């Protein structure tokens, strides 16, 4: 198989891949059919916390079920009375340099989060991305609380909290802002929710502090959960959002798993793990609840109607009379900034969904980031990384380039053999192999560099699609967003012209049909790349230009050597 036949197969592979993506657009996953009557999503319902598996290390605990209010029931716990309707009129507002957050005192939960420096559209900088929302049509909340088997009032995510102020602002001289909510169940048992916000960070450190002023031991287990209305992404061939995962994900301490909402509707996910966390992801953004890494957590994910819940509850902790205990957890609501995610949990960076090419995409992104720190422009960083990749494989591509240059030089003799044996393909094939052997030419030598480039091509594709750092990143002139297509299709046209010129430097395939297909391949690639992110086209254009320069230099040397 020569280099040109391989190019044809690779082109076919790319066409099939694009066809598969188009098929996904035509047949997107169906929205789960509601299996329960419509509920008022403004009020926490039985969906709010699913039935959980065994609670780790709970003394005498075998299983946790749920009450009619959606709360986990511990052994010996009394059924909670029906809560009053939550009017969501007790909101406190928190403003940092990167977040606008609403906390509902009816539950003490994070119910709204807007990304202050991430606009929905570059042309509308005053409209920020909204991640968490109390809107029933787009419900997405981070809830937390404590459960106790003792019965009576408890500081769960339905309880009433109070705060010292209606609004909190991280001022210019502050690096940290702590919001404290108080709950008083009775004169003896008190609890506080602490939300710790830091400048420039989307990581919210969360503490539930229980103070036991009674004369008896008091046992409690902390839980956190994400509740979200599932809205499948509208698929579009020209939208990069179409190729990104949206929905619930779980890390069980060993592996990362994307959960299918349709499957959860039929069979909920449940298990007890150490080092687990749950998250709900979408293109470029996520919300996550991360318990302490050394804590066993009972995790459950389930669906009812159009709403899914991801929940985790920790072990029962006994608080001595007159004592207190602080339950720690990390919450995150923001863009998938890999440096911040890694500080919370090393594996939380897996929510940046590079797919099966993560092993290549993550090092490429790391290299891109380091070069960006020096150049300050993602476009020039892409060009620099492309040049470095080309340099790393220079010797390999030079060897194949020499073989291709020798084949180009043999073109007249090959044409003579074709004319001589035009009616005997077996004899032609044997004569060609003898010619290759005599001239020490390996027609397959050009295949390896292309095979090496293709994984990097797809890895770069996912880096540019998934990395929020590339979102709305400008390059130069008319390219003001490297993560979307070139609005004027100039880069794809340049790339097509460069590929056409590159085919002129390489020997033409001996088969006339293959030769014609090779001539139209630049046109086919130009059409495909017209809808790819401008950053990816910039990478392929740079790679093509460097390959042209290298092959031209090799051809010149071979011809000069006679």
Instruction: Check whether 533 has a pLDDT greater than 90.
Output: no
Helices (H), 283-377: 338-344, 358-375
Backbone angles phi, psi at 222, to 5 degrees: -90, 145
Instruction: Check whether 537 has a pLDDT greater than 80.
Output: yes
* Distance (Å, whole) CA 540 – CA 456: 10
The C-alpha angle with vertex 81 and arms to 78 and 82, in degrees rounded to 5, equals: 145
Please count the helices (runs of H) and the strands (runs of E) in the chain: 12, 22
Largest CA distance in the chain: 105
CB 230 within 8 A of CB 248: no
Using CB atoms within 10 A of its CB, is residue 395 exposed (0-12), middle (13-18) or buried (19+)? exposed
Instruction: Check whether 42 has a pLDDT greater than 90.
Output: no
pLDDT at residue 504, as a whole number: 74
Query: Whole-structure pTM over 0.95, yes or no?
Result: no
pLDDT at residue 402, as a whole number: 63
* Distance (Å, whole) CA 288 – CA 271: 18
Domains and CATH numbers, the chain: 49-350 (2.70.98.90), 362-399+449-561 (no CATH)
* Distance (Å, whole) CA 361 – CA 556: 36
Number of other residues whose CB lies within 10 A of the CB of residue 19: 10
The band of 114, judged by pLDDT with boundaries at 50, 70 and 90, is: very high
Find the range with the poorest average confidence among 20-34, 98-112, 475-489.
Answer: 20-34
Structure tokens at 253: 């301490």
Backbone angles phi, psi at 63, to 5 degrees: -160, 160
Structure tokens at 402: 């020499």
DSSP symbols for 211-270: EE-SSS-EEEEEEEEEEEE--PPPP-TT-GGGGS--EEEEE-SS-EEEPPHHHHHHS-EE
- Residues 6 or more apart whose CB falls under 8 angstroms from that of 222 comprise 144, 145, 146, 208, 313, 314, 317, 327, 329
Q: Report helix, strand or coil for 479.
A: strand
The band of 224, judged by pLDDT with boundaries at 50, 70 and 90, is: very high
Structure tokens at 336: 């998938």
Instruction: Check whether 28 has a pLDDT greater than 60.
Output: no
As a whole number of Å, the CA-based R_g of the chain is 30
DSSP letter at 34 equals P
| Across 84-90, average pLDDT | 54
* Distance (Å, whole) CA 493 – CA 214: 76
Find the range with the poorest average confidence among 91-95, 157-161, 276-280, 463-467.
Answer: 463-467
Please tell me which of 5-19, 65-79, 432-446 the model is most confident about, judged by mean pLDDT.
432-446
pLDDT tens string 337-377: 999 999 999 899 999 988 788 888 999 999 999 999 999 99
The band of 23, judged by pLDDT with boundaries at 50, 70 and 90, is: very low
The more confidently predicted of residues 507 and 232 is: 232
| Distance in Å from the first CA to the final CA of the chain | 27
**CA 507 to chain centroid:** 42
| Across 280-289, average pLDDT | 94
Instruction: Check whether 441 has a pLDDT greater than 70.
Output: no
Instruction: Check whether 64 has a pLDDT greater than 50.
Output: no
Instruction: Check whether 62 has a pLDDT greater than 70.
Output: no
pLDDT at residue 404, as a whole number: 66
The more confidently predicted of residues 272 and 547 is: 272
CB 335 within 8 A of CB 447: no
The band of 198, judged by pLDDT with boundaries at 50, 70 and 90, is: very high
* Distance (Å, whole) CA 543 – CA 549: 10
* Distance (Å, whole) CA 448 – CA 367: 24
DSSP letter at 509 equals P
DSSP-assigned beta bridge partners for residue 161 = none
Structure tokens at 70: 């959606």
* Distance (Å, whole) CA 158 – CA 496: 60
| Across 23-41, average pLDDT | 33
**CA 157 to chain centroid:** 29
CB 250 within 8 A of CB 299: yes
pLDDT at residue 451, as a whole number: 73
The DSSP H or E segment spanning 330 is: strand 324-335
* Distance (Å, whole) CA 458 – CA 429: 35
The band of 73, judged by pLDDT with boundaries at 50, 70 and 90, is: very low
Number of other residues whose CB lies within 10 A of the CB of residue 491: 23
pLDDT tens string 385-422: 989 888 887 777 666 666 666 666 666 676 777 777 76
Instruction: Check whether 380 has a pLDDT greater than 60.
Output: yes
The band of 379, judged by pLDDT with boundaries at 50, 70 and 90, is: very high
Sort strands 167-169 and 91-95 into parallel, antiparallel or unpaired: parallel
pLDDT at residue 51, as a whole number: 37
The more confidently predicted of residues 60 and 285 is: 285
Angle, nearest 10°, between helix axes 411-420 and 425-438? 150
The DSSP H or E segment spanning 431 is: helix 425-438
The C-alpha angle with vertex 372 and arms to 371 and 377, in degrees rounded to 5, equals: 130
* Distance (Å, whole) CA 276 – CA 26: 36
| Across 325-337, average pLDDT | 95
* Distance (Å, whole) CA 449 – CA 550: 13
| CA distance to 225, 251, 277, per residue, from 259 (Å) | 16, 11, 13
pLDDT tens string 258-267: 998 888 888 8
Structure tokens at 12: 């076919």
* Distance (Å, whole) CA 546 – CA 310: 49
């Amino acid at each position: 198989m020569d280099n040109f036949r391989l190019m044809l197969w690779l082109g076919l592979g790319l066409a099939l891949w694009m066809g598969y993506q188009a098929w996904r657009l035509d047949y997107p996953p169906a929205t789960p059919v509601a299996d329960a009557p419509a509920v008022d999503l403004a009020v926490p319902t039985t969906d709010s916390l699913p039935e959980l598996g065994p609670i780790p290390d709970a003394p005498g605990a075998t299983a946790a079920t749920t009450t009619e209010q959606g709360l986990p029931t511990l052994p010996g716990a009394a059924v909670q009375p029906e809560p009053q309707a939550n009017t969501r009129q007790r909101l406190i507002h928190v403003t940092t340099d990167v977040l606008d957050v609403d906390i509902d005192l009816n539950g003490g939960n994070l119910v709204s989060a807007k990304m202050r420096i991430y606009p929905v559209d570059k042309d509308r900088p005053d409209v920020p991305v909204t991640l968490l929302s109390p809107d029933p049509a787009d419900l997405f909340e981070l809830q937390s609380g404590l459960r106790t088997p003792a019965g009576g009032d408890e500081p769960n995510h339905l309880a009433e909290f109070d705060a010292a102020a209606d609004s909190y602002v991280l001022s210019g001289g502050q690096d940290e802002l702590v919001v404290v909510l108080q709950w008083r169940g009775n004169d003896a048992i008190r609890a506080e929710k602490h939300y710790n916000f830091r400048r420039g960070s989307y990581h919210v450190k969360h503490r539930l502090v229980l103070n036991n002023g009674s004369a008896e031991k008091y046992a409690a287990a902390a839980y956190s959960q994400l509740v979200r209305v599932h809205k499948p992404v509208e698929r579009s061939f020209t939208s990069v959002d179409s190729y990104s995962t949206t929905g619930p994900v779980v890390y069980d301490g060993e592996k990362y798993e994307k959960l299918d909402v349709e499957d959860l509707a039929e069979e909920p996910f449940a298990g007890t793990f150490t080092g687990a966390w749950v998250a709900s992801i979408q293109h470029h953004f996520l919300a996550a609840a991360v318990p302490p890494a050394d804590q066993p957590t009972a995790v459950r994910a389930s669906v009812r109607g159009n709403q899914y819940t991801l929940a985790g509850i920790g072990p029962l902790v006994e608080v001595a009379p007159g004592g207190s205990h602080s339950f720690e957890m990390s919450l995150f609501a923001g863009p998938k900034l890999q440096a911040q995610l890694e500080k919370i949990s090393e594996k939380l960076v897996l929510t940046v969904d590079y797919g099966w090419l993560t092993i290549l995409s993550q090092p490429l992104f790391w290299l891109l980031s380091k070069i960006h720190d020096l150049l300050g422009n993602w476009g020039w960083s892409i060009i620099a990384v492309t040049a470095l990749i080309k340099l790393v494989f220079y010797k390999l591509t030079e060897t194949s380039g020499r073989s291709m240059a020798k084949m180009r030089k043999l073109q007249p003799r090959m044409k003579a053999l074709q004319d001589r044996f035009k009616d005997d393909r077996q004899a032609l094939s044997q004569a060609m192999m003898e010619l290759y052997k005599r001239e020490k030419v390996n027609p397959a030598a050009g295949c390896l560099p292309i095979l090496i480039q293709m994984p990097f091509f797809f890895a770069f594709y996912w880096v540019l699609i998934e990395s929020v750092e590339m979102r709305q990143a400008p390059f130069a002139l008319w390219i003001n967003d490297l993560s979307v297509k070139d609005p004027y299709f100039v880069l794809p046209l340049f790339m097509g012209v460069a590929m056409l010129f590159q085919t002129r430097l390489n020997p033409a395939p001996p088969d006339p049909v293959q030769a014609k297909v090779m001539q139209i391949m630049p046109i086919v690639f130009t059409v495909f790349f017209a809808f790819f992110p401008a950053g990816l086209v910039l990478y392929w254009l740079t790679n093509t230009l460097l390959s042209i320069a290298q092959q031209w230099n090799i051809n010149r040397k071979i011809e000069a050597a006679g």
